[in-house]
Amino acid sequence: MKIHNNRKFIVKGIFIFIALVFLCKLFYIQVINDKYKFSAKNNVLRYDVKYPGRGLLYDRNNQLLAYNEASYDLMIVPREVKEDIDSTLLIDLLKISLEAYSEKIRTAKKYSKYKESVFAKKIDAETFATLQEMLYKFKGFFVRTRSTRKYPINTASNVMGYLGEVNNQNIKEDKYYTSGDLIGISGVEVACEQLLRGGKGMELVLVDVHNSKKGKFNEGRYDTNAVSGANITTTIDADLQKYGERLMQNKIGSIVAIEPSTGEILTLVSSPTFNPNALTGRNRSDNFKQLLEDENKPLFNRALLGQYAPGSTFKLINGLIALQEKTLKIYSNYSCIGSFQYGNDKMVACHEHSSPLSLKKAIAISCNAYFCNVFQSFFDKYQNTEMAYNTWYNHIASFGVGQWMNNDFTSGKKGLLPKTDFYDNIYGKTHWNSSTVLSLSIGQGELLLTPIQMANITAIIANRGYYFTPHIVKQIGEENIRDEQFTKKKYTTIDPIHFGSIINGMQMVLEDGTAKNCSVEDLDICGKTGTAQNTSGNGEDHSIFIAFAPKENPQIAIAVYVENGGWGSTWAAPIATFMIEKYLRNEISNLYLEEFILKGNLISTP
């Protein structure tokens, strides 16, 4: 009997223990652990992403270039959409066709029946206000607020770039992004994407059966705030940029201006250009397609991606190399008979002018024969062509030619500075010499540069032998950039002492040389004209001009390239000197010539 009583107590004890375990677990589930609370309330919760404000863009004078404007996306969760939804009313509100509505429904279901996705993007404020009042009629739909880019000044579209929707690759590479998010595609928008985008937040919202917001879950205890992106101050002078775009209207080409003392890019004009607001809003896709199909390629950033022969502007570097290698003296004279003859009845033509010439005068009037002589004399110094060419190559490379200069843009071209292998493959090793590559002496042949490289070369000459890597970002938030890539001087292989004679020749270009029609009173501008052969055979040769000013303590270095513009003095030189005068004096003295440039149309029309 005693044994039975003991068993009874044991069984009771077991049941009591089990009951206590269940009670403890129930207390844990209902009071302590929120996981089950979330599961229970999941059918009345909506997880709303809180999108951060994208960082603003400013020019160097704190003029606003890009800001954010509220944008509204209509979201859909297909499994919650009722069969008897008033689709006709929704179609009317969104101003879309029945076919478009049906396609959007199919697309959303294909993506996920249970996950939200974008049904209609970038709804305007008026439509949003009406839709918000009637949203209770459309179960399974809700509105998500985010921001879209706006550009208050119609300028610098190729500098700022534009935004686009993320693709699957973006989402795969960076978990920050989800379908429908915007990301920088080009320009500063993509170069500074990580800084500009900020950080997302999350809000848990209580909704009713109509998916209408009824308040925050748990008083917002589990919400996280979005972190706004950093504001970026660019190096661009918006007023100068806009003026440059006016000068280049109805022309194809580029203007790049740099502050020599810092490497900051003052202007980066690519023409033709486009209104940056064309690639925002609901019409973005149609506008992008139109720009993409434009035969003049306004989306192509010629300042960074265009590769051109530098023409006679390159004579300056060949002169510097010869001075450095002591194959040219500043007082060396060469004669010109209207051409430079070499090889078997070959010649490089030259225009009519006085002869013989000094280095300074040869730069001023751009004598081809003089610099052919300089180039050949340089090669004659060495035992063989390979040694001479490699020495020449190393000097040229020190000016940033033929290489990506590691600026803060994500796109660009290196240009072309051929190595000896290039010519060995064409002619065979030891089967070529200075005569084979003589066109390099006047900036023709295989040599290609981008406009930003030309502007950087000009800054190097202005600085007498060094440069700062050209860059577009001046400040991040309130902090100036401190990256040594942009703040450390890079030196060429040319000693500073050799630049003086070259600069004096450049000054003479505007005083009594090929660009004397572009001189500005009481302003010491040093420049060099260039005319590059149009190898396509369509249209005129290309007009080129590089310059800096003032001669002492230079504040601006500029390169202008006008496709099919003919002589460098016709289009490129006036544009460059107008830009310099505008930047230094904020006025133009030769209004007649300015009007000629502004009205000039070099783009052929059908």
Mind listing the pLDDT tens digit for each residue in 462-517?
A: 999 999 999 999 999 988 988 888 999 999 999 999 999 999 999 999 999 999 99
Q: Find out whether 244 and 579 touch, Cβ atoms under 8 Å.
A: yes
Q: What are the tokens at 456?
A: 């950087």
- C-alpha 144/C-alpha 147 separation (Å) is 10
Same fold, 47-234 and 238-274+282-599: no
Q: What are the tokens at 45?
A: 């919760």
Q: Find out whether 249 and 241 touch, Cβ atoms under 8 Å.
A: no
- C-alpha 370/C-alpha 403 separation (Å) is 28
Domains of the chain, by residue range, sit at 47-234, 238-274+282-599
What is the percent of the chain with per-residue pLDDT over 70, rounded to a whole number? 93
- C-alpha 550/C-alpha 114 separation (Å) is 66
Q: Find out whether 291 and 298 touch, Cβ atoms under 8 Å.
A: yes
For the domain covering 238-274+282-599, report its CATH number.
3.40.710.10
DSSP label of 57: E
Predicted pLDDT of residue 131: 85
Contacts of residues 207-215 at CB distance under 8 Å and 24 or more positions apart, as own/partner, are 207/44, 207/45, 207/46, 207/142, 208/44, 209/139, 210/135, 210/136, 210/139, 211/46, 211/80, 211/135, 211/139, 211/140, 211/141, 211/142, 212/135, 212/136, 213/46
Domain 47-234 superfamily per CATH: Penicillin-binding protein 2a (Domain 2) (3.90.1310.10)
Predicted pLDDT of residue 30: 59
CB atoms within 10 A of CB 420: 15
The string over 157-186, giving b where at least 16 C-beta atoms fall within 10 Å of a residue's C-beta and e elsewhere, is: bbbbbbbbbbeeebeeeeeebebbbbbbbb
202 pLDDT exceeds 70?
Answer: yes
Q: What amino acid is encoded at 125 in this protein? A: A
Predicted pLDDT of residue 352: 86
Higher pLDDT, 442 or 84: 442
Mind listing the pLDDT tens digit for each residue in 233-289?
A: 999 999 999 999 999 999 999 999 999 999 999 999 999 999 999 998 778 888 999
181 pLDDT exceeds 50?
Answer: yes
CB atoms within 10 A of CB 142: 23
**Owner of token pair 């290309």:** 542
231 pLDDT exceeds 80?
Answer: yes
Higher pLDDT, 96 or 213: 96
- Work out the average pLDDT over 351-379: 93
Give helix 499-512 / helix 315-324 axis angle, nearest 10°.
Answer: 150
pTM metric for this prediction: 0.85
Lowest pLDDT segment from 25-29, 44-48, 402-406: 25-29
Q: Which of 455, 405, 91 is nearest to 253 (CA)?
A: 455
Burial label for 595, CB within 10 Å (0-12, 13-18, 19+), is exposed
Mind listing the pLDDT tens digit for each residue in 530-554?
A: 998 887 767 789 999 999 999 999 9
- C-alpha 277/C-alpha 291 separation (Å) is 13
Q: What share of the chain is helix, strand, coil (3-state, %, to 5)?
A: 40, 20, 40
Q: Which of 403, 437, 405, 406 is nearest to 420 (CA)?
A: 437
